[in-house]
Each structure stands twice: as C-alpha cells, then as structure tokens.
A and B are shown apart, each in its own frame.
Chain A
Amino acid sequence: MDFFEPRINADNAPFWEGCKAHELRFQRCKRCGKVRWPAAYLCPECLSEDTEWVTLPNRGTLYSYVVMQKPFHPSLAEKVPYVIAEVDLAEGVRITTNMFDCDVSALKCGGEVAIDFLDSETYSRPIAIWKGASE
C-alpha cells in the first residue's frame, strides 16, 4: 500500500531513518522533557535547542480514522478504499498512518493498535494493525 514518497528534510530525517530500522523515533527536549512531533528545531514548549532522539513503543490508541472512498489523485484510483488513521503513541505524540489489512467495521476510536512498518525501495513507513476496542 504505497502512496507518495514522504518529504524528508533536515528536521525530520532521523524519524525516517528510524522507520527503516522499524523504530518510532522522535525528539525529546533535554531541558523540559517534552517529546515532539512534527520534528522541529526548537522545543515548542520551552524553545530549547537541547534535543535528543528517543524511541517510543510500537503501539498506541486510535484517535480516529477515515475510509477514503474517492481518489483525490488519479494514482489513487486503484487504492480506494483505504483507511487513514491518527494514532496516539506514548508521550503525547500523535502520528498519521494507515490501518493495514483490517476489518473496517471493527474499528472504534480509542481502540488499541500495534505499529508495524511497510518497506519500500527508498523508505519505510509506519502502518497500524488493529488490536481491538478498549473497555
């Protein structure tokens, strides 16, 4: 399930390197401890430049999801329907991803997902596997 190549730049390159290693890596501010995404040069909480990259667990909860039924680009005509998901990871980080190989009718906001990765020729990207609704 490949869409367009991500746009990789000086701020976010380590995230995409982490994806190649099947890891979710984000910046943590060494001054105040806030973990941030999207990648940014300064901490949006305290504006410190003192940063380290940390790895978060490959799991989260589903904030929400959308089933794309119509293609918004000709190249997507064969891919619909597909599911875009927003997943809340640890440390207040939320990522955009896709549900992979799921029964759409089983999805529920707030449910548990596991994060895996899809490898393409030049990059890897996270995908979400449905693990079930919470209580």
Chain B
Amino acid sequence: MILDQLKNQFAIVGVGYTPQGKIPNRTAVSFHIQAVKAALEDAGINKSEIDALYVYRHFDPISGDYDTTAFTVAEQLGVRPSVIGQETYCTRGWLYNGIGLLASGLARYVVISYGDNARSGRRSFVKELAGGKATDDLAAFGDLSTMAKYSMQARHAMDTYGTGPDVWKEIAIAERQWACLNPIAGMYGKPLDDEGYFSASMVAEPLRLLDATPNSDGGRAIVLTTVERAKSLGHPYAVIRGFGSANQPVLPLKICVDDPNAAAKVASAKAFSMAGITHADVDACELYDCFTYTVEATLRDYGFFRPEECRDFLRREHIGPGGSLPVNTSGGMLSEAYFMGMTPISEAVMQLTGRCGDRQLGKLPGTKTPSIIVCSDNGAVFQSHICLVLERGE
C-alpha cells in the first residue's frame, strides 16, 4: 500500500520563531522572512537548498502593507525554489505537496511559513462582506463570521452529545495553564479560572470571547526533508511516523457534526494507520484550536473518546499540566499565538527535541518524556485537515 511506504521517511528538521504577540510597526512579510531565517538556522541548512516554499495564507494587506504573496516572501528571502505556493482560503495542501516533492526527489528541503501583523494591524476576519457588500448568500442572514459557523456546530454538539460551555471552559483553562509555563505565550502570567471564563461575554452564543483565538503579530516556520537528510544534519529532529490529509470541501452550511466523512476522521485514520499506533500510544496532542470546540471536535473525530464521553475526557486534570494526555502544551493558538497549523506543529517538534523549558514534558512534574505526539492542522470550518503523527528522531 502506497501510504505504508511513506511511513518514517520524512522529518521536520527545523523550526523558526520570531518575536510574537503585540509587535507594532512590522509588516506581515517581515515576520515570514524572519521566521524562515530562524528555521534555516535551526535546521542548519543554507537558503539555497530550499526547493519548495509554501506560505500561509493569502490575507488582505493591512497597515499600509503591500499584498503579501508567495512571490513576495521568496523575493525577500532571495531564494529561487522550484515550487512556490500559498495556502489561500484555508486549504491545507502543504503537507501532501511537500511530501510528494520530497518523495519524488524533486525537492531537498521544503519550507512552510506563516507571518502576519494581524494584532497590531487589527485584522478583521469577516470575509462575508467586501466594501460593505455581501460576498455570498450569508450576509443576507447576518451570518458574517467564521465564529458563527463554528458556533453552529458547537450548538449541534451540545444538543446531541451533552457538551457545552462547562466542557469548553476546561479546554480554555488547561491551555491557559500551559501558557503560564511559556514565557513567550501571549497569555503568560494571565491564569484563567472558572469565574474568568464564565464572565467572558457571549459573542456567537454558545461560544464566548474566551472560546476564540485572539490575533497575534509574528511568524513561525518549519523545514521538512527526508529522514536520510535529517540524519546527516546531526541534530535531533522529529520523524513523521504517519500522516494523512483529507477535505470535506462543502460549504460550512453543509458540515455535520456526525459526518462519517469528516475531514478530521478521514485524515487521522490514514495517519494512525500509517503510523501503526493506537490512541494509547499517544503521549501528547498539539491541535489546531481556533476555538475551544475545535479541540473537542478533533479529539472526538480522532476517536480519543466517544462523543457522549466529552465531559469525562475533557478535564483540565487530564489535558493540562500533570495530566495523562497533555493537549496544546505551548498554550495553543488560544493562549500562545495564532499561527494556524504552525503553532501546534512547531510545539510538537520542540517537545520531541527537548527544548520546552518549564513546560517540557518529562521535566515538568507529573509528565513523561514524549515519544509520540499527534498534531492537527485544520482549515476553514472543518473543511480541510492534516493529521501528523510525530516521533522523536535520533
């Protein structure tokens, strides 16, 4: 089977960080290139070896920025890759694209980068209006946000499986606990308790402000290559033991909570099968968490718990520091920084390579050194999904 042959063949050999949080007077592209430079240094490779560059996302330029395209990033890095691409409109194609290029020998190193000045530039993610005019049907019904669409699924899950704010509170609080161990996290030094969660205002009920990831300034980048090259670089890396990508490319309107073809279900089934693991083998999860409910939906669709077991499974004692299944150990997008799939995946690599300081699994009391970490990248409203099973590589 083709998928089995791709097991343990590829690796993440570098991660690049930039200043992050509220960093004014920076262009979006400046964060892309700073993150890539840092990732190259971390990997120990020269920029001339980048054969493919994928940048997240295509955003409308704000704060006087020029349009930030893949061409812009490549030009400012002074690189000439064979393939450049941009993850526009929340598609998540970078993994299969990158793996395909590496597997065929068409690329030596593949770089994925994220950069934005969303916080200081005050980016709005309302796509349903352009210049005050509707871009599709939805504005006619006052449906103007991604948050409303996630909330729609969250409500259905509430009425069907008994989840709700008191479950999502546990996710928000657990991730905040992790963030309080991470000096570069946006919410470092800002613990959250039950009262704090419930006092946050409802935005798109049943989701509150604290159920939603805030904007960040900054960037993050990773370097992918083959395991053979990874070994030659002579430093720790993360092996991609299994991976899977899937889409449910219907309108958010047609997304169903119990869809057997949910992108997360299909992608994780491929990844777990390729990796040859069960849920019991997973030491930690680093999951795309645009909303608290996204974490619940992902763990549920990955099969970690049956839908009606959400209340027992999603407790801070279980997924927070000291718990038996750490989730989003950097604080996640909710409490660390919003760099889409790069947030969870870079944290997984940092954990596996032992560089997480006070939040390091295995050093933090009550935790064990991780061998296998499952990561997710999720696009749009459960419409595009990547699942990675990463393992410590020597």
Q: Which residues of A contact B (CB under 8 A)?
A: 3-7, 12, 38, 63-70, 72-73, 76, 79, 81-82, 84, 86, 94-98, 108-110, 123, 125
Contacts and interface: CB of A to CB of B under 8 A. Distances in A.
B143 A96 contact: yes
A64 B142 contact: no
Interface stretch (B145-153, B175-183, B191-199): B145-153
Q: Which of B136, B137, B142, B156 has the most CB of A within 10 A?
A: B142
B205 interface: yes
A64 B136 contact: no
Given A7-B139, A64-B152, A72-B144, 5 more contacts: A4-B134, A68-B205, A69-B203, A82-B142, A86-B253
B126 interface: yes
B376 to A, nearest CB: 23
Instruction: Report whether over half of chain B's contact residues are helix, strand or loop; otherwise say mixed.
Output: mixed
Contacts of A7: 133-137, 139
Contact of B133 (A4, A72, A81): A4
A94 B138 CA distance: 13
A97 B142 CA distance: 9
Contacts, number: 101
Contacts of A4: 129, 132-134, 139-140
B152 A65 contact: yes
Contacts of B148: 66, 68, 72, 84
Contacts of B136: 7
A66 B155 contact: yes
A24 to B, nearest CB: 14
Task: Tell me which of B141, B143, B201, B202 has the highest count of chain A C-beta atoms within 10 A of its own C-beta.
Answer: B141
Contacts of A95: 253
A17 B263 CA distance: 35
